[in-house]
Chain A
Amino acid sequence: MKLTYKVSDFKYSFGYNDGKPNWCPGCGNYGIITAIRRAMVELELDPENIVLIGGIGCSGKLPQWVVSYGFHALHGRTLPIASGIKLANHDLNVIAHAGDGDCYGIGIGHLIHASRRNLDILCVVHNNQIYGLTTGQTSPTSLKGFKSKSTPEGVIELPINPIALTLSSDATFVARGYAGDKNHLTELVMEGVKHRGFALLDVLQPCVTFNHLNTYDWFKERVYKLEETGHDLTDKNAAFDKAFEWAKTNSEKIPIGIFYKEERPTYGDEIPHIVDKPLVKHDITNIDIEEVLTMMT
C-alpha cells in the first residue's frame, strides 16, 4: 500500500542544527523549503525516491533539512551532479537547488546546457540578487547601480535575465516564483516536478540581512501573476515579451508564474536502452567483449 506523508515527515528532529534551518529570521529560503515539503506531500512522493542537490551558498543547505537523499555539491555544480544522477537512475525525482551566484554566475554554462539537454530535472534557483553566505557581495542578478561590499560604487553590468536565457536555450519549462507567496510557490514547485523535462524555477527570495533594496515590500508592489493575465504558456514569443518586462518597465512590473511550457522528449527518452530500465538496474556481471576483440583482429 502506498504510504502517505505529512509535511512533518519531511522534517528532521536531529542532524545539522538539530534539524532546524539556520537561515536568518525572515529569509526567503523559509518560503522555499516550505513549498518544497508541501509539494512533496501533495505529489505523494516517497522520500527515498527524491534526491535534492544543493550548491554552495545559503540555498545549498536546504537538503540538510528535508528528509530525502541529499547531495551537497560544489559551488556552481549542482546541475551536472543532478544530470549524472538522473541519467543513472531516472526513477528518482531530482531537484537541484542553487543560488543566483551559483547558477547564474560560476555555474551558468551548465544551466545553458541543461536547458538544451532537457533531462527531467527541476532546478530551483534561490535568487536573492546578492551573495549572502559570503556576507554581501554583488551577484549576477543584482540590478545595475546596486551597491555592495564588492561594488561600493554600484554595479556597472546589467543583470542576467535567467528567464530569457533559458527560453533561448530551449528549456521546456520556465517559471518564476516569489518566496513571499508560499501557496503560489508550492504550485510552481509541483508543476516543475511534474513537468517531464528540464524545468527552471527562478525564485525571488529576499535576503533580509544584506539586500536592503529588493525587500519583501519592494517585491510586493511589483510582482503579479502571469496566470491572472491570460498568458499563453505555449506561446514562446509571449514568454520572451514577459521575460523582458522587468527590465523594460525599469522594475515596475515583475511577472511571476509559468512563462513557458512545452512537451519535448527528454534526453533519456532518446537513449533506447534505458527507456524501460534505468541504467543502474542493468546487470554488469555478464559482459562479453569477445566479439569486439575479434573485430579488432
Chain B
Amino acid sequence: MEKEKVANTLSWKLGGEAGFGIMSAGLIFAKACSRGGLNVFVINEYPSLIRGGHNVSHIWVMEREITSQYYPVDLLVALNEETVELHKNEINPGGGILYDGDKITLSKESLGRDDVNLYPVPLEEIAVETGERAIMRNTVALGASIALADYELEMLNGVIRDTFASKGDKVVIPNLNAAKAGYDYIEKNYSKDSFRCKLNKIEGREPKPLISGSEAIALGAIQAGCKFYSAYPMTPASPILHFMAAHERRFEMIVKHTEDELAAILMAIGAAYSGVRAMTGTSGGGFCLMTESLGLAGQGEIPLVIVVAQRPGPATGLATWTAQGDLRFVIHAAQGEFPRLVAAPGDIEECFYTTIDAHNFAERYQVPVIILEDKYLSESSKTVEKFDVSSIKLDRGCLARPEDLEAEEITFKRYEFTESGISPRALPGQKGGIHNVGGEEHDIYGFMSEDAENRQKMMEKRKRKIELAAKEIPKPKLYGDETSNILLIGWGSTKLPMLEAMRVLAEDGVKVKYLHLNWIIPFPTEEVSKVMDSSVKSIVVEGNINAQLGSLIRENTLKAVDHKILKYDGRPFYPEDIVRGIKEVV
C-alpha cells in the first residue's frame, strides 16, 4: 500500500566534486520545479578551488513561498562517495540517496540507517551511452530525481532546451536523452512508493523568475539607469559583474573589469562625476583597497553606489563562505568624517528595490551609498514575484539647469552653502558650470581652501545632508506579531532564515516580532528605541562574533540588547539555529 506522501515539498541536495557541474545542474532542477508553479530556494556551497573539493547545491521546493533552506534533506543525490559521508545524517526518514551504484557501494547497514531508501543508478554508464559523455551524469541524475519525485519530465526538458539553446542541438539532444534515460531507469527499476515526497505541477499558477541576491542588485541597478559598472573579480561580488557584463549590450551600459579595485571605484567616481549613474562592487578585501577613494567621493560629494558582498575575513578569510562581519568596517571606512549611507537588504526583493533607492539617494544627497550583502544572499536564488516597476521614480537630485547656469560667471558655485547642505551640481561639458572638485577641502567654487571658517562650514554643510537623509530614508520594518514581548533584531540576509524561523516558532506557539534594518546608516535611532521600549526581551541575530549591530544599537539608543544569537563559522543561519537560540533564552 502506498504511504501517504508529503506533497509539494522536497529538499533536494546534489553533491559532488567541483567540476561536475553541481551548481548548474542544481539551477536546472530548481527551474524545472519553479516552472511547474512551485516555489524554490537554492543555496550553493563550495570551496575556493575549481576542480576537486566538495560542491553542494541544496534546493528547497515548496508550494508556499519559502525564504530559506532548512537542514533536513529528502533526496540526496551523491555524485561521489564524500557526499554520502558528509550528508547521510541530514536525510529525513523516508528520504533517499540517489547515487552511482557502479562507483559507490552502499547498504543500509554500512550507512547505519534503515529508514533511508537507496537508489543506485549507473549514472556514468547511462551518461556515456545516451549523453555521449560521462560529464552528463548530472543530467541523468536530474531525470532520475524527477522520476522519484513523480514529477513531470517535460518540465525538466523545457529547462534543458532553454539552458543549452545557444549551444545548439549537439548539446541539447544528448542532455535530453540523458535526462530521459535517468527517468526511465527509476521507472523501470524502483517503486516510488517508499520515497516520502511527491511534486505536482500547480495548474494555473504563473511560473516566477528565479533570481539571486546579486542578480537582483544588478537588475535594480539596470532599472535605476546605472550605465557604468566597474569592478575587479572577487567572490562573492563577481556574480554582479557577470550579470552586468552579460547584459552590457542589451542595456547599453559600460561594464569594465578594471586592473584592480582602486581603478574600479575611481572609474566609477569619474563616470558619476560626469553625470552617469555608476556603481562598483567588491568584497571586504577589495573594499579595503577602495577606502581612500570612498573618502574622495565623500569629500567631493560625488554620487556613487558601492556593493560590498561580505565573506568571512580578515585577509582572505574563508573566500567562498558567508559572514556579516563588515558592518562596522563599511560604516567607518576611510579617514576623516563624511556622510555616507549604508543599506543591508535582507532578501531578493529588497536587493532589487534597495539598489534603485541607493542610486536615487546617492544623487539626491550627493554621497557614496554602500549596499551590504553577503555570500549567502549574493549567491542564493529564490523564486520571486516579477518586480513591480510601475511606481519606480528616478530622482536625479539637484542638477543645475542649463538656463540657471550663468554664462557670464567664470566659475560655478558647486559647493554653495544651502540649508539642506545639498548644492546644485553642474556636469563637465556644461557651459557656465565650470568648477573644481576633488579630495581636498575647498571653498564654494571647489578651489582648495585651508581657511578655518570655511572648513567648519563645509563640514557642517556635509553633515546637514545626512541629517536630511535620516528624515527621508525608509524606516526599519517590523515583521511578525507586533504585540509580542520578544523582539528580534537583525540586518541583511538574516531576514531570510528569520522569516522561516518565525513560522516554526508560531507553530510551536512562540510569538515573536522581528525588526529588520534595511537601511542602517543613518541609524534609525528613534524607531529602534521605540520598539525596544515596547518589548521585554530583545535579541540581536547576526553573522559575526562581536554583535556589531548590537553595539550600534547601544551606541545610538543607549539601550543594550538582552541577548545575542551569533554565528561566525562561515555558514549562514538556518531557521533551526535561530529557533534553538531563541528557545534557549526565552
B220's nearest neighbour on chain A, judged by CB, is A289
Q: Give the size of the chain A interface in residues (CB under 8 angstroms).
A: 55
B435-449 to A contact mask, C-beta < 8 Å, 1/0: 111111001011111
**Chain A hits for B278, CB < 8 A:** 84, 88
A47 close to B434 (CB less than 8 A): yes
The answer to the question of A226 belonging to the interface, with a C-beta cut-off of 8 Å to chain B, is no
B259 close to A113 (CB less than 8 A): yes
A-B contact count (CB 8 A): 190
One of A69-77, A124-132, A256-264 contacting the partner: A69-77
The answer to the question of A231 belonging to the interface, with a C-beta cut-off of 8 Å to chain B, is no
**Chain A hits for B224, CB < 8 A:** 284
Provide the bound-state CA to CA distance between A48 and B428, in Å. Answer: 6
Provide the bound-state CA to CA distance between A71 and B227, in Å. Answer: 21
B39-72 to A contact mask, C-beta < 8 Å, 1/0: 0000000000000000000000000000000000
A113's nearest neighbour on chain B, judged by CB, is B259
Given A48-B428, A273-B252, A282-B252, A84-B435 contact (CB < 8 Å)? no
**Chain A hits for B310, CB < 8 A:** none
The answer to the question of B230 belonging to the interface, with a C-beta cut-off of 8 Å to chain A, is yes
**Chain B hits for A195, CB < 8 A:** none
**Chain B hits for A292, CB < 8 A:** 219, 222, 247, 250
The answer to the question of B262 belonging to the interface, with a C-beta cut-off of 8 Å to chain A, is yes
Provide the bound-state CA to CA distance between A16 and B442, in Å. Answer: 9
The answer to the question of B386 belonging to the interface, with a C-beta cut-off of 8 Å to chain A, is yes
**Chain B hits for A113, CB < 8 A:** 258-259, 263
Give B252-279 interface residues, CB cut-off 8 Å to A.
252-254, 256, 258-260, 262-263, 266-278
Given A72-B436, A296-B211, A89-B429 contact (CB < 8 Å)? yes
A84 close to B209 (CB less than 8 A): no
**Chain A hits for B200, CB < 8 A:** none
A297 close to B210 (CB less than 8 A): yes
Provide the bound-state CA to CA distance between A200 and B222, in Å. Answer: 35
Chain B residues touching A, majority SS: loop
The answer to the question of B223 belonging to the interface, with a C-beta cut-off of 8 Å to chain A, is yes
In angstroms, how far is the closest chain B Cβ from the Cβ of A87? 5
Give A227-275 interface residues, CB cut-off 8 Å to B.
271-274
In angstroms, how far is the closest chain B Cβ from the Cβ of A12? 7
A293 close to B209 (CB less than 8 A): yes
B280-302 to A contact mask, C-beta < 8 Å, 1/0: 00000000000011001000000
A72 close to B437 (CB less than 8 A): yes
The answer to the question of B579 belonging to the interface, with a C-beta cut-off of 8 Å to chain A, is no
**Chain B hits for A135, CB < 8 A:** none
The answer to the question of A68 belonging to the interface, with a C-beta cut-off of 8 Å to chain B, is yes
The answer to the question of B411 belonging to the interface, with a C-beta cut-off of 8 Å to chain A, is yes
The answer to the question of B427 belonging to the interface, with a C-beta cut-off of 8 Å to chain A, is yes
The answer to the question of B394 belonging to the interface, with a C-beta cut-off of 8 Å to chain A, is yes
The answer to the question of B151 belonging to the interface, with a C-beta cut-off of 8 Å to chain A, is no
B293's nearest neighbour on chain A, judged by CB, is A74
B274 close to A80 (CB less than 8 A): no
A107's nearest neighbour on chain B, judged by CB, is B262
**Chain A hits for B443, CB < 8 A:** 15
The answer to the question of B575 belonging to the interface, with a C-beta cut-off of 8 Å to chain A, is no
The answer to the question of B207 belonging to the interface, with a C-beta cut-off of 8 Å to chain A, is yes
Provide the bound-state CA to CA distance between A5 and B320, in Å. Answer: 58
Task: Pick the 6 closest A-B CB pairs, nearest first.
Answer: A84-B270, A72-B438, A284-B225, A80-B266, A88-B274, A84-B267
Query: Which residues from chain A sit less than 8 Å from chain B, CB to CB?
Result: 12, 15-16, 46-49, 51, 54, 56, 61, 63-64, 67-74, 77, 80-89, 91-92, 109-110, 112-113, 271-274, 279-280, 282, 284-285, 287, 289-290, 292-294, 296-297
27 CB-based A-B contacts, threshold 8 Å: A15-B445, A16-B449, A46-B431, A48-B428, A48-B430, A48-B432, A69-B433, A69-B436, A71-B437, A80-B266, A84-B266, A84-B272, A85-B271, A85-B428, A87-B228, A87-B254, A88-B270, A89-B275, A110-B259, A112-B259, A113-B258, A287-B222, A289-B222, A296-B210, A296-B215, A297-B207, A297-B210
